[in-house]
Each structure stands twice: as structure tokens, then as C-alpha cells.
Structure 1
Amino acid sequence: MAKEEQLFIDTPERNKEGREWQERSRFRLTKEHLDLVRHIEGFPIAKDEDIINLSDPPYYTACPNPFIGDFIKEHGKPYDPDNDAYRRQPFAADVSEGKNDPIYNAHSYHTKVPHRAIMRYILHYTEPGDIVLDGFCGTGMTGVAASLCGDRKAVESLGYIVQDDGTILDEKGRPFSKLGARKAILIDLSPAATFIAYNYNTPVDVRAFEREARRILDEVERECGWMYRTQHVVDGKVQKDAKGNPIMGKINYTVWSDVFICSSCSGELVFWEVAVDKEEGKVRNEFPCPHCGADLTKRTLERATERVYDRDIGEFITRARQVPVLINYSVGNKRYEKEPDDYDLELIRKIEESEIPYWYPTARMPEGYNTEQPKVSHGITHVHHFYTRRNLWVLAACMSKPKSLGNLRLRNRLLFLVEQLVLGMSRLARYVPRHYSQVNQYLSGTLYIASQVVEVSPWYILNSTKIKNLTRALLKEYVGACTTYCSSADSTLLRDACIDYIFTDPPFGGNLMYSELNFLWEAWLRVFTNNKPEAVENKVQGKGPREYQELMEKCFAEYYRVLKPGRWMTVVFHNSQNRIWNAIQEAILRAGFVIADVRTLDKKQGTFKQVTSTTAVKQDLVISAYKPNGGLEKRFQLEAGTEEGVWDFVRTHLKQLPVFVEKSGKAEVIAERQNFLLYDRMVAFHVQRGVTVPMGAAEFYAGLKQRFPERDGMYFLPDQVVEYDKKRFMVQEIEQLSLFVTDEKSSIQWLRSELEKKPQTYQEIHPKFLRELHKAPHEKLPELAELLEQNFLKDDNGRWYVPDPGRQSDLEKMREKALLKEFEEYKEGRSRLKVFRTEALRAGFKACWAAKDYKTIVEVARRIPDTVLQEDTTLLMYYDNALMRLDE
């Protein structure tokens, strides 16, 4: 088989398409090309030659891709508004996919979404050949998913049925998609991430890869294997062969332990010796000092340090003292353990004093949140400090070998293989005694260095089984065209309305500092993240909640620009903080998207922070948002600020919402179809476009009841309600949404849901209300009696009930008058507002918006706690838009 044919293997049609794209895409990245894109946000920090050497244009550039226009021209389908028949409801099902998949596990990363989960979304929203974009691609699972949508076995493994003509049926036998690879554009700010993504999504000669991988490891072992030899010892005696020579074992790993100083007697103690229970494999919380007998804990100890000359940076450094305490080695197929003896210590000393004949990175670690811990705890300030001299030498040797190959793609795939040693061979690898394997025992999402680290040999990590598994998992002949490049998500270089679907998993607040965590990988690749546009909260970078939201708004605005009208974007969200959730929603809405659905995505195994944090969200949320089609936007320009504009939006929005969702045999309430959320979406649509909202909530609710059929508290279009009634008849009950009572708005919603069941007296509803109430500290919540009087009516028997729409409007006007009166008090004050009525602020901001009094909105907003502003979507929406108009 020719090399060219090995790159694209599927049907003859796809073969032809792939070969033609390859034939016409023999591009060479030059410094002139780099000059064209050097000004683009996210251009990495590196020498030009290092960017060029790492790139494989047009499939991969370690910088903004100057050839992306050719990719769109080759694969894109121009948007034609006059003949656009695309229609999709949001993917309205919770997804659960595990991480135990060979492809998923082929390369570690701080966080990623399983490709099998992404496949479900791509199949739902796209057709074969459509272009999928992921601007925060990480390891490129979106690209893998897009390609595997053309793999019958992969699609069938999701529980779907693929018919002979390629039609895909869901679990209930309903057709919903077609078999066929989708195209993918993968972008990330991190060169490390894009390099991983490129290798995941670019085919290569399988046999050549496996052959060269084994050759490199064998070559390095012949050259450096002596560093990982130890004398075989049994019962304290060195074992010898028939000739009387010591039997030598092959070291798998060496355990190193911190050394501490007793706070009572100042004696040195090795943590391994005093605190570790070897039989149980546990670390004791308390232990006696071997010198003075004092009871100690790790927190009471002072770390022992040593001052050494660092020849690489030409200065003395102070580092934490660590000593080798255990060697795990193999003789033949048997494994043994021993304490280091004189031979081992002399070997380590010899290596320490030797010059390494290969290049290795000596860059200083950046200032940051994650980089502070190794600096403070162990004195690690530069990249090479993360390695023992032995592992630094051998890793440098492994990294140098692929670079001599002429085949760029094969060379990069071998670098991808060796790159997996960067963390596994570092001091980040903790010793975990109860695990059989010590491979990759580092904590993802941190640069934490434990008191017991494991120095692992490269052959222990990259054994023949690992290479075979990697070959099987990754190196399939993917049929989908994919291009990957390094850039900021707000500067894609794509033309308007050229993307068919967006799946994205962006960074969330201060969850993970990718530029810091990727620094080790990037140091070996010689290309670093430009973190100026990195969308994170990071004090060292001078980025707080406001800066984070502004960066995310720019990214979503770019998403909105390049997505075709009427198409969908799926956003995966994982953060436990309400303010981050609100910031993301606000950024999505500000860009022009309309949110249609929120579901859960269970990746089954949590990240380190999800497992250890009591407040962490265990399941990710998935936001489905759409870009309104051009028809609505054009009509809205004519109808803006009118009643007809309101109902035009509602009709269009209802078309985009799921009609019926079944879960565990129950009909699920679709939150977005409830009146208060429809009202919120309508208000947001107007405000984000700088238009006055023409009606209040009560008038909106009344109009909703007049115009749209209602079922189970949800509103539908006439043709939708027929479908809902049919499906609702097939289930016995409806699963209600949980409603948390934290402020006035949620209190009124809860009271309405209770009183709609049946009218109730104050005495009946009061104890139930108190059970559900979890008031925020800043909230000035009216008494229950006042809430009932302002929002509900009472019959002759003293029972409160929900008024009909006509009476509701009168009550709403009376309540709004009272709220605005209270807002006037806030408006006239000058001091910080610590306790206040949030509904009064919402009513006041709405009135100021209608009057174009943006200054008052901004001034009052700046007097309330920033956390409250960031956690309230309505207040944040008015404030952000008022601030933008003041700046104009």
C-alpha cells in the first residue's frame, strides 16, 4: 500500500476526497507566513524556527493557521439563507460516558470530555461533511468524535442502529442522523494541547511508527541502560552468576523521600523511615522522633534543604533534600525490592557529576498559582529541577531521537509518544505503595510534589504493551479531514457563517491554569503559551471575575460570528460557583446566542479537584444554545420594542426547544418552557440588543396564556402540543423540577407552584415555606405575609390562591410600584449596600434601562457586593449592557 493511501482509508469516495485535499495541500510554513499572523491573539512565545519545525501545514500549525481559508474552501458548504432547510431541537438527554476507553487514555491531560459523549452531540446536530469547530480543543476529542461519526462500529457502540443506507436510528428505532465523517477545526491557546490534538487526529504509517518507537527505546537503552542497573540482593547478599560476577537487575523505579528536621531536637529524619507504614502502605499522621522521642506531625517539621551549584543556570540554588529509599527492579520476569546500597549511591553520584550530551530545557518556571507550590516546598524554580539528573539525561536522549527522521508526521507522532514521559518521569510522580504500577502517579490539575516521589525509568512507562495499545488506540486511518492550530478562540481567522456546529469545553474561572500546567510539556517542545488572552481568573496575571467574563465574551462573540444562523453550540460547564455559571451565561447571551436547554454530562470518573473538593460539581453541565436565524434578526430590527417583537421571539424560541423529554419512565418538566424562563429569555434578547423591553412580567404571562397552549406548566406551539399530548399519554407521571428558595423571586415561584396545587391558608403554607427557605446573607426578604399580599389573592375562607391573568397584572403593577419606591432609597444613598431587596434592584434597573438612564444602573451596581452582582444573571445583564453603552 502506498504511503498516500495509508492516510485515508474508507469508501472510494472518501479516499478520493482525502487524496485530493492532500494533493492540493502541500503547504510549507515560512517566516513570511508567520509575519502574516504574528499579530493574531494567541500567537505563541517561541523562535520562528521552533514553530516551523513543530508544524505540519495545513493539518497543524503551532501558531494561527495562515492556510485555514483553503480548508474552508475545500470542505465548507456556503450558507444560503434562501434555501436553508436546517432544523434541530436541542439534544435533550443527559449523557453518561466513562473514561475507560483506549483512545481517551492514550495521552493524559488535565481535563477532557470523552469522545464517545461528543459523538452523540455531533450526530444529533450535523450531517456528514459538516464542519465542527472547537475553539478550546484541549487534546482534540472533538476531532476524534467528528471522524468516528463515519465509523459504523464506533456509532453502533453508542447503542444506535446503522442501516445499510447509512441512516442512524436511536435507541427507540427513530432515524435521527446519517453515518459519515464530519470535518473538524480544532483551536487552542496552548501549543502542548494542539500538539496532542494534532497527533490524535492525524493518521500515520502504523507499522513504521511501531518499528521506530521500538528502535528509539532500544537505542536509548543501549546508550543509557547502565544508569538503571542495580546489584541483585537477597537477604543482604549480592547474588552472583556462575562466573562470580554480580547479577544485575534492571531498575523499574526508585523511591525518593523528603528529609525533615525535628522541631524538638533539630535532628534530621527521613520521612520514609519515620512516617511510612511499609506493610499497610500508609502514612502515619503522628510519629516519634528517632532521636529524642518527641511526638511529631508533618506540619510541625521543618524541611531539610541543601545548597548546590546549578551548572545549567550558573548559580547556587537552595532545594529540598531528598534521598533514595527504595529500588524496585527486575531480574528476568521477576520483580524485587531493595534499599539503595553503596553501588546505587555511587551510581547516582557519578551521574550527578556527568555532563548530559543532549539538549534539555532550563527555562525558569513562570510566576503563577500552580507554580508556587513546587517553588515554596522544594525550591523548584526551573524546568530541569523537576527531574533527577538520571531521568533528565534519559528523557533528553529520548526526545532527541525522533528529530533525526525526515518524515515529519512520523517524527511528530514519535515525539507525541515520548512526550508522555515528561510528567511520568518527573518529580511530580508520587509513590503510591498500594498500586501495582507506578506509571503516571501524578495529580492532574496541579504541580504538587509529594514527600515521597518515584523516579520511573522510561522503559517501565513505555513498554512494548504500551506501544501496542497506543498503536491500536490512536493510529487508525481516520477519514475525516481535520486541521488543528494554536490561537486564541477569539481570533479564529475564519470567515463569517462558515461553521455548521460548535462543541466547546472552555476554561471556567480559576478551575485550571492551563498555561502553567502545560509549561513542562511546552518547554520540551520549545513553544510556549501566550497567556495574555487566556480566559482564567488568575491574580498573578491580573485577571479577576470581570476580566474572565470579558475574555469569554470575546470568545463567544467570535463563535457567534463564524457559526451559521440557526445552528447550535454546545458548551460543557464544570464549576461549582454560581458567579462563574452566571458569567458564562451572560457571555453567551451577550454574544447573541439564545440558551435553549441545560443538561448533565457524567464523565463517571471525576478530576482530582472534583474528587477532593466538597463543593465541586460532580457532573458537568451541558448548555445548548442557538444562533437565531437571519429571519428573526431582520424582523426584530423592524419590530424591536413592540409587542409583536416579543411574541415573534417567543414563537421562534419555542420552535428551538425540546417538545418532550422522557427520563426513567417519567415526563420531565422542560424548564425553558416555563413562563418565568421564557420571560427571562425574552428580556435578555431585548437588552442584549439595546432595545427597551415593551412589557412587564404580568402582561407577558397573560399574553402567553392567551397565545400558546399550556401543559404541565409549560407552553407550546399548537403543532408541538399535539406531539406532547401523544407522548405524555404514554407515561404515568411528570417529574417536577427542584426549586430552591433563596430570594424573593424564587420565593414567589415556589409559592405559585404550591398554590397552583390547591389554595392554602397562611397557617398551612408557612411551615412548608420555612423548610424550603435558604436565604442569602445579603437578601432583605419580605415576610411571607407581604409576599402573599403583593402577589396572590385570598378567598372568603382565608385561603391564598393564584389570581387569573387579569388580576395578576393589577397586582404586578402594585408590587412594581412598591419595589421602585424602595429602589429610590437605594438610588439616593452613597454608602455600600450590604442588605437589600434584590427584586427592588431588578425592578429599578429595568426602569432605568427603559429610560436609558445607564449611569444610575452602573452607580447603584457598584455599591452592592461584587459577588452578588456576579451571581445574579439579571443584575449582571443590565449592568454589563449599561456599562457598554456608557463607554460608547
Structure 2
Amino acid sequence: MTSLFEAGKQISGSVECLGQTFPSDQARRKHYLKLLAEKLKDPAFRKQEGFPQGTDEAILAMSDPPYYTACPNPWLADFVQQYGKPYDPAESYRREPLAIDVSVGKTDPIYKAHSYHTKVPHLAIVPSILHYTKPGDIVLDGFAGSGMTGVAAQWCGTAPAKYRHEVELARKKEGRPAPQWGARRVVLNDLSPVATFIAANYNLPFDVDAFAQAGKQLLKSVEQDVGWMYETLHTDGKTKGRIGYTVWSQLYSCPECAGEVNFTEEALDEKSKRVKESFPCPHCGAELIKSRLDRLYTAKLDPSTGNTIQVPKRAATLISYTDGKTRYEKKPTHDDLAVIQRIESLPLPFQVPTIEIPPMHMTHERARMDYAGVTHIHHFFLPRAAQAMGKLWEKANAYPGARTRAFLLFFVEQAIWGMSVLARYTPTHFSQVNQYLSGVYYIASQHSECSPWYILDGKLSRLEKAFHGYRSQFGFAGINTGAAAQLPLPDASIDYVFTDPPFGENIYYADLNFLVESWHGVTTDAQPEAIIDRFKKKALPEYQHLMQRCFAEYHRVLKPGRWMTVVFSNSKAAVWNAIQVALQQAGFVVAEVTALDKLQGSYRQVTSTTAVKQDLVISAYKPNGGLEQRLAQRGATPESAWDFVQTHLRNLSVTKTRNGEMELIVERDPRRIYDRLVAWFVRHDAPVPLSSDEFLSGVRSRFPERDGMVFLPEQVAEYDKKRAQMAQAPQMELFVSDERSAIDWLTDFLRKRPSTYQGLHPEFITQLGAGWKKHESKPELSQLLEDNFIRYDGAGDVPSQIHSYLSTNHKDLRGLEKSDPRLVAKAKDRWYVPDPNKAQDLEKKREKVLLKEFESYRAATGRRLKEFRLEALRAGFKAAWGNKDYQTIIKVAQKIPEAALQEDEKLLLWYDQALTRTEEP
């Protein structure tokens, strides 16, 4: 294994890049920077969607072309063509879905090397890359964030022997062969320039020893310039100590006497180090509660803007410092306050950005930064912090070596949030480093103003250690800054997609990245950002449309027959449905959705939207080109439907175990397969060639069925072999939330246990719990039974289904003929699941009733339907779709509450497609 020192020496010699040889890496960089500079002069190049906002000079300073550009990368297609392998339809490729634990590896030093708002650890991604790809394949992450997918791809080639052994052992226990070790190449994209800058530094090689030395020199040099600002006299009156942090307290006004109240001094309990719920005013003794206090402000002239601004009035209240290795605390003395006053008179360093914060959700709607005196970026920093951060940025930028310089900035930028007023004083924590609230701009009543050494000394040593144990290589990562919906990549050029996209309104990435990006001088173009943001007028439909465009781009660049893994984390069912519909409209077919059971440490498949409160992993595939071609040739025929089913079954897991027991493969349930079939034909703007009961009847005659699951003939032997080793058959988990799921539950229940109304009713009632959809009318059990099942009235022989159940569970009824009076008496009035032929007759009868009810919804004159049957809406939408009556779908959809529409995947699919068809020219 090549050492990092040797790697550093190698890149100082001749290098190969995109088929060209350069005398040195510096020559390579100079050549491509010149080409990029020319590109940046082209107005058409800058008009690309997602192009960041920044000067040519700032973009060039961040970039390291052709591997990384802080704008759309003109060489990304060349990267893929040079190092990738063209799509070959004759190549044999087959994989099953893979479940992964997205939380594993969060304590790994590489994962912790640089923080980001959300990130899946590279050690959680490695198993997927090993499963779906082979060495040399190209992996894509269009929402790459800090670049962990790239780290995982390269880690596959440099993982230590211990890790390899653990992976191989785990796969052996699962009955899978050992993986093919070796680095994979990766394409990383993100809309945020700071995200791609972090990703580039994670994924492009650098000399770790040179960085460590430069980092030490940087901190020493900054100390020589501003060290005096962080000196304080020890209580012995002689020794000078170094300040680790200074606690600043918000000053308030007592509502009773208008006296000034120092929040930290009065509200913080010295023993418990926690804020008291109430405390006495130091002037009048009135009982005070924080929420009733008035914040005090002071007027200050801002030399950078020439304006007088209102700033919250703060007081330095506590100093934590060290004298050698011992830590002390004290109240600021007159000399300490004099130093602070001297610093306030210094001009703001030119490196500190002074740009105005544009209107955004995080600073103008959610947090109101202007109330905290923050309207421009430099207002985030107290005078001393601004001086120190300015020096850090200046000296890091002045380093002569390009890769070391970039990594110094990677190192320094991690102090930006921690040295800003966003850093809260948290006395109950061991350290005050980076004690800001993640995912939000929030300025607390107590601020911990940390010194640069307090934050960065430990970080430097941890970075050195972490990157000595990780190897990256030039030519293995291509990094792009731009919109995921417009990737500069050829069609069918990517072997696998792993992605962790923004989900709904969980994180406002562009808003949160603005602070750090301002220091680089290159900021995100938030227009194409795929989030829900009321401030930017992006609601759930806009989010779904943006995600659909991104998934469509993934579909375009992914090779046919290959896979995509999507990590999903959102607690709202509507967002979950939007993602599923966006995936299906883009052309992907979902093969499995799994969640980690954190209590039992195992994976479970998701059967309903109740599971979206956990981290989910979606496994989806792009159907092979042959399936698409055959559909185009045949059209929407039953043969095309069964062709799709064949392909889908081939891509599903054959067996799954959980805690030593077999788990039902949810996607093999005939009803789920039919849902996928419908979505497939709708996506291709084609009528669905089979009704639900035609499908259910046909699927059982064409494919073997085991334990309620459908298999290909060649898959059954494997399933049967595994099933024979288990004590019991896998069980379906059903959550009743609407009429359709109620019918599904009854079907499963009655198939196992044909029952009378009286025997069934108590069991059914227990299923109708709090999970019932808000606007869905609750059906009567008697009506559900009448419409969907058959009751044995005692005439003729006892049906086989009831006979089998009774003779198995009642000893006195065993061996009796189906016409035996004793058996008939016991069987009378029991409901059972009809055989396929009778089921079709019931389905036609039921559909007429549903369509009649749908017609009443269509004819209703009121603006909104308060309660309705989802099954009637689904049947009506499907019928209207078949008749190309898109306006009826749209008009009825507008009558139901938006939440009800967004929370039903099937309705949402029909509605969204109807909108698309009416918008087409």
C-alpha cells in the first residue's frame, strides 16, 4: 500500500489526466485552470441551471480542474468516457436489493473529519457499492453533500485487512460470495459550492504530512499576530494565561424596575450549570422569567456599511483560560475589558465578508436574524472573533501549494460556525467547541466566544491521523457543482447510483451554507434546490416536480438494468409518497424499502407509511432496455404486462431473514406487484391492460406462489430450500388505514380463518385504530364482506377453503365429507375468500358501485369533499385515465383536501400524470 508521503512525491512528478500526460501536477492544474477561465467568460456557460453566484476569480480559487470545479464541470463527460466502460446489453448483470444500516460508522475519524448538515457515513455506503458494482465501475451521487459516497467508492480499494475480513464473514453468513475488492470511480455533484469543496478535499489526494506541518505553522503565525487578544492575567497577578473561551451574556431589562439584568450571572445555577426556570431581579427582587424579559439593544456605527445598527447588548461575563495544562475560570477584569475595547477599535479585516444576507427562510422567517443585529455576514462575529477568523483565512489562502492550500481552507472553514455568535455557551458539556444548534441559525442568550486554538488545535491532530489511514487517488473522482437535474454526463454511462437527497423541509441547505460560502465568495444558486420552502414559494408539488426531474436525470445516465439506492429520512407520509411517485414517473421501479429496527439491530421491510419516521433505504432499478423495446413494439397488451412482471420478479429478493426467522418479501405480494405494474404503464402514458382481478387470477396461473408471495419457476427451489430450514412461514404485517388496506387485512384473515360476522367483528374493530386516514370514510364490515367476499349459506357442499380450516382446527370434524351435516352446521354463515373466477364477478360488481360513487363526487357542486372513499376515487381516476379524460381527474382532485391527495400514492400518481398530459403542447 502506497504511503501518503510517497503519494505526495508521485503527484510532484509526471501525471496522466484524461489521456494526457503532464510534466507535473502543477502543470496539469495550470493547463485546466486556463481552460476553465476561458469557459467562465462564456455567457452561455454561466447560464446553466444551478450555476453558483461568484466571480471568475473566486470560482477558479476553489476549483482543481478537471477533477473538481466550483461550477458545472466541463470535463465530467470526458472523465466518464475515459475511465468508464460503455453500456453493453450483452453483459450479464443481476443483483438483488440490499438493505444497509445508514447509521453505522458515525464515529469513524474520516466521517468526523468535516461536519455537514446531513451525511451518510462512508462505512454505511461501502456494502452497497461492493454489492452492486465491481472495481473500476463508476458510481454517481447527485446530492453528494460532503462526498461520503466518493470516500466509500475509494475505500473499497484501500480498506484494511480487518475490515475486509469482517465484511467477507458477514456475507458468508448471509450465503453471499466474497466481494470484489478494489476502488470504484465516482461522480459527485451538489448544488452547493461549499459542499463540493468539502467533497473534493475528501476525494482528491494531498500530502498529509505537508498539510500537518502547514497547519501547525498557520496556527503559530496567527498566534503571533492576534495572540495578545487571547491573553489574560492569572489570579496570581503575574502569570499570563491563554483564553480558551469567553462567555458573553445577553443583557435584559427587568419589567418591574427597568434595571439591567445580566442573564448568565442571574439565571445560571453555579452548581448544576443549568438555567433556572425563574430568578430574582438583582435590583428589585421581582421574580423573573426569561420569556417576559425585554432584550436590551445598543446603537453602533458599522464602518463597513456606514450605517448605524441596533445590536443586542452583551457583556463579557466569564473567561475560561489555561495556565500550562490547568484550566481556570474567572470574571473579566478591568484589563480584560480594556483589551476587548481596544480590539473593537480595530478595522475589520478585509478577508471577512461584509455582504448583506439576502431574504431567506432561515434568517428572515424562521429565526429573524435582524432581531439579533445580524443583517450582514460580518455581524455573525464579535470583533475579536472577526480579527482571528480574518487572519486564519488570509494565511490559509496565502499558502503556495494548491492542494495543501485547499486542505488548509477545508481545515479553517470548520471554525466559522464555532467562532460566530451562533456558538452557545453550554456549561454542562465538557467542551465548548462547535456548540451551535445544527440545521438552524440560532443566537442564544449565552454565547461562547472560542479562541481559534481552542477549536483547531485538536482538529489538526485528528485530521492528520484520520487521513493517514485513508487513501484517495487522482482520476478516481469527478466533482461537479450544479443542479442534479442537469448533469453533464452521457446517457447510460453510470453503473450505480447511491444518493441521499434533500427530503421536504428537513434541512434548508442553501440557507445554511450561505455563511461559509460567503467566505469563499461563491454561493449556491437556490432556484433549483429540491426542498419545500414557503419563503421561496416551493410547496410539496414543486418539491415533487424538482425531485422528479432529478430522478429522471439519474434514470437517463444510469445504465439499463442497473440499480439506485435512495436514503430517505422524513416523518411525513406526504413527502414519502411524493418521492415514490417521482421515482416511478422517472422510470424507476422500486424493488424494496427497508428500515433498520434499532431495538433489534435488524432490517425490516416497510409495509406502510407508518414507518417513515425512521431512516428508510429505497432500492430501485432501471429496467433493462429489452423490456422498454418490447413495450414499444407490442404496446399496452397483456403480454407486455406479464413481461414486466417477469422482469420485476427477477429483480426481487428471493429470501430474507430477520432475527433468525424468514421475512415476507413485501414486493412479492401480488397486490404490490400490481401497483408497480400500474405505475409502469401510467409512466409510459399507456392504459393498464389488466384489471386487478384479471391480474390476480393470471398471476396465480402463471407463477408459483408460496406463503402469499409470487416467484419465477427458477426461484422457487431456492425459496423452498430456505423455508424447509425454518420453523414457521413468514408473516405479513398489515396496517389498516383505509378501505383498501381493510380489504387486504380481511383477505389475509379469512384465507387463514374463514369466520362468521360475529367471530370476525371484534378482530376487525381492533384494526380500525388511530392510523385511519383523516378524510377516508370508515366502511361498515357488513358492506366490505358483501362486496368482496362470499358467505356460505349452508346450501350444497362446504367450500374447500372452509373445509380445510375446520378439519385442521377441530378434531371432531376431521375426515368428514363436505356434505356431512355436522360440517355444514359449523361452516354455515362463514365468510371466505372467493376463488379467482368468482372474484372477477365480484370485482365488476364492486367497480360499478365505486364508479357510481365517483360520479357523485364529480357532480358535487361544493368546493371541497369533507369525507369520501379512497377506493371510489382510485377507481374513478383509473377509469378517467383509461379514457384520457385528464380534466375529470384534475377537477375531482381539486375537490379533496390537498393532504389527502398528497398522502395517497395511487391518487397522486394519476393526478400528477394528468397534470403533465394537460400541460404538454
**Same fold, TM-score > 0.5, yes or no:** yes
The one of 648, 670, 692 equivalent to 1:697 is 692
Separation of aligned partners in 1, 2:168 and 2:10:
23
Which residue number corresponds to residue 219 of structure 1?
A: 221
Q: Does 1:41 align with 2:49?
A: yes
SS at match of 1:625: strand
8 A contact 1:133–1:186 mirrored in 2: yes
1:361 — aligned with what? Answer: 353
Q: Structure 2: give runs of 5+ residues left out of the alignment.
A: 600-609, 795-827
- Which residue of structure 2 lines up, in the alignment, with residue 544 of structure 1? 539
Task: Tell me what 1:576 maps to.
Answer: 571
Q: Does residue 706 of structure 2 align to residue 711 of structure 1?
A: yes
Match of 1:123 in 2: 130
TM-aligned CA deviation for residue 263 of structure 1? 2.2
Does residue 184 in structure 1 map to residue 186 in structure 2? Answer: yes
For 1:863 and 1:205, locate their aligned partners in 2 and report how far apart those are by CA, in whole Å.
63
Q: 2: CA distance between counterparts of 1:2 and 1:703?
A: 61
Report SS of the residue matched to 1:306.
strand
User: Deviations 1:345-391 (Å, cap 9, x if unpaired)?
Assistant: 11111101111344210112222222131515412111111111001
User: More displaced, 310-319 or 288-297?
Assistant: 288-297
Cross-structure match for 2:464: 471
* Structure 1 range deviating more: 581-590 or 798-807: 798-807
Corresponding residue for residue 763 of structure 2: 768
TM-superposed CA distance for 1:624, in Å, is: 0.5
| Mapping of residues 616-635 of structure 1, within 5 Å | 619-635=614-630
CA contact (8 A) 1:140 1:200 kept: yes
* Distance in 2 between residues matched to 1:31 and 1:638, nearest whole Å: 48
1:777 aligns with 2:774: yes
Letter in 1 for 2:421: R
Aligned length: 858
1:218-367 mapped onto 2 (5 Å cutoff): 218-233=220-235, 239-240=236-237, 246-367=238-359
Q: What is the aligned partner in structure 2 of residue 805 from structure 1?
A: 836
- Once the 2 structures are TM-superposed, how far is the Cα of residue 92 of structure 1 from its aligned partner? 4.0
Note the C-alpha offset of 1:867.
1.1
RMSD of aligned alpha carbons: 2.3
Residue 815 of structure 1 corresponds to: 846
Residue 825 of structure 1 pairs with residue 856 of structure 2: yes
**Residue in 1 aligned with 2:883?**
851
Per the alignment, residue 94 of structure 2 pairs with 87
- The one-letter amino acid paired with 1:847 is A
The runs of 5 or more residues in structure 1 that have no matched partner are 163-167, 234-238, 241-245, 605-614
Q: 1:461 aligns with which of 455, 459, 462?
A: 455
Deviation at 1:435, TM superposition (A): 1.4
Are the aligned partners of 2:168 and 2:178 in contact in 1 as well (CA < 8 Å)?
no
Post-superposition Cα deviations, 1:172-195, rounded to whole Å, max 9, x if no partner, equal 463152010000010000011011
1:446 Cα offset (Å): 0.9
In structure 1, C-alpha distance between the alignment counterparts of 2:493 and 2:710, rounded to whole Å: 33
- Residue 790 (structure 1) aligned to one of 772, 775, 787: 787
Q: Distance in 2 between matches of 1:204 and 1:813?
A: 68
Give 2:36's aligned residue: 30
Residue 90 of structure 1 aligns to which amino acid in structure 2?
P
Distance change in 2, residues 1:673/1:94 (3 Å): farther
- Relative to structure 1, is the Cα distance of residues 173 and 634 closer, same or farther in structure 2, using a 3 angstrom cutoff? closer
Deviation at 1:869, TM superposition (A): 1.0
Task: Name the structure 1 match of 2:77.
Answer: 69
8 Å contact 1:552–1:587 — kept in the other structure?
A: yes
Secondary structure of 1:249's counterpart equals strand
Distance in 2 between the 1:587 and 1:760 partners? 41
Does the CA contact (< 8 Å) of 2:18 and 2:82 recur in 1?
no
What does residue 739 of structure 2 align with? 744
TM-superposed deviation, 1:756: 1.6
Deviation track 1:303-342 (CA, whole Å, cap 9, x = no partner) reads 1111111111110111211211110000111110001111
Match of 2:177 in 1: 175
Aligned residue among 440, 447, 454 for 2:441: 447
Structure 1 residues 884, 355: CA separation in 2 closer, same or farther (over 3 Å shift)?
same
Query: Take 2:760 and 2:333, find their aligned partners in 1: how far apart are those partners?
Result: 77
Question: 2:514 matched to which residue of 1?
Answer: 519
Residue equivalent to 2:156:
149
**Match status 1:159 vs 2:191:** no
Judging changes above 3 Å, is the alpha-carbon distance between structure 1 residues 420 and 171 closer, same or farther for their aligned structure 2 residues? farther
User: 2:48 & 2:756 partners in 1: Cα distance?
Assistant: 64
1:101 to 92, 101, 108: 108
Q: 1:94 to 1:249 in 2, by over 3 A?
A: closer
Contact 1:425 1:458 survives alignment (8 Å): yes
Q: Distance in 2 between matches of 1:578 and 1:539?
A: 19
Moved more, 748-757 or 350-359: 350-359
Partner SS for 2:361: coil
Q: Which amino acid aligns with 1:715?
A: V
**Contact 1:160–1:171 (CA under 8 A) maintained in structure 2:** no
CA deviation profile, 1:49-104 (whole Å, cap 9, x unmatched): 110111100111000001112211221101122x2211111114556514111011
Q: Which moved more, 1:183-192 or 1:27-36?
A: 27-36
- Kindly provide the amino acid, as one letter, of the partner of residue 697 in structure 1: S
Quote the residue 1:397 is aligned against: 391
| Correspondence list, 1:6-17, <5 A | 6=7
**Matched position secondary structure for 1:61:** coil
- 2:418 and 2:173 mapped to 1: Cα distance? 41
Distance 1:189 1:7 in 2: 30
- Are 2:721 and 1:726 equivalent residues in the alignment? yes
Q: Cα gap change, 1:622/1:254 in structure 2, threshold over 3 Å: closer, same or farther?
A: same
Inter-CA distance 381–90: structure 2 relative to 1 (3 Å threshold): same
Structure-1 residue corresponding to 2:209: 207
**Residue 289 of structure 1, CA deviation:** 2.1
> Structure 1 residues 197, 734: closer, same or farther in 2, change over 3 A?
farther
> Which position in structure 2 is the counterpart of 1:415?
409
Give, in angstroms, the shift of residue 731 of structure 1: 2.1
Change (3 A) 1:45 1:664: same
Alpha carbons of 1:694 and 1:631: their partners in 2 closer, same or farther (altered >3 Å)? same
> After superposition, what is the alpha-carbon deviation per residue over 1:469-519, rounded to whole angstroms, capped at 9, x for unaligned?
101213533247111121100111101000000000000111110001011
Partner of 1:110: 117
CA separation of 1:177/1:616 partners in 2, compared to 1, >3 Å: closer, same or farther?
closer
Query: Residue 528 of structure 1: CA displacement?
Result: 0.2
Instruction: Give the direction of change, closer, same or farther, for the CA distance of 1:91–1:401 in structure 2 (3 Å limit).
Output: same
Give 1:822 shift.
Answer: 0.3
C-alpha displacement at 1:291, in angstroms?
2.4
Residue 132 of structure 1 corresponds to which residue in structure 2?
139
SS in structure 1 at match of 2:857: helix
Distance change (3 Å), C-alpha of 1:597 and 1:760: same
Matched, 1:506 2:501: yes
* 1:256 to partner: Cα distance: 1.0
Partner residue in 1 for 2:820 = none
SS at match of 1:401: helix
TM-score for both structures, normalised by structure 2: 0.90
Give the letter for the 1:315 counterpart: N
Query: What is the CA–CA distance in structure 1 between the aligned matches of 2:668 and 2:719, rounded to whole Å?
Result: 12
The secondary structure found in structure 1 opposite 2:496 is: strand
**Amino acid aligned to 1:682:** L
For residues 776-821 of structure 1, give each alpha carbon's deviation from its aligned partner in whole angstroms, at most 9, with x where no partner exists: 2211222111011101111232111111111111111111110000
Contact 1:654 1:717 survives alignment (8 Å)? yes
Where does residue 193 of structure 1 map in the other structure? 195
